[in-house]
Structure 1
């Protein structure tokens, strides 16, 4: 593939996919609250989301930190997911310090929703 993305290539469908990485460092005593809330979130993902392709939660050895790996079919799927878990987000974010990255080419609508957020956007350069 050449620099950037070639939407005519066989992998063009994958270009619409978005990947997210969220990193949490938990506040003292908030791990169990995070686990409880993330279980609710996972149930929502499994039962309501139609375009979430991956939603994995990983802890370090002492469970003081975690990484959430997310993958969405496209921008609309991420917008849908965000709407489904909106009621839980304030409580989840209160359990620790959070940083995040979004990888892909979000739609104009999703870009507008990300404006002013702490999420860092990385757009494709090369892929196979």
Structure 2
């Protein structure tokens, strides 16, 4: 089975380790399923499993077991998996250098906000 070239950032690794450590199966692994969609190009679901399921590939990330189903392996090839915890987003994020920017407000470069000027003389008390 071919292993994808996936980069897992330290923040994503920490998140995955915590999920496994505090689960009912701390000796298991982090099963990550991705599908096309969402602003980053992917939507994801994860579970903590005692062992890989049929067809899963096991990716070792500094001793952490990450289980990837076949479709996820194909989609994640060349992708960086990161973790974000901001007021706008919390969870795993995916950086695909080959993906085109989407039209949502949180992806790609944005234009500077429009500027307006108001003359103080135009403000009157009623």
Normalised by the length of structure 1, the TM-score is 0.25
Which structure dedicates a bigger proportion of its chain to helix? 1
Structure of higher CA gyration radius: 2
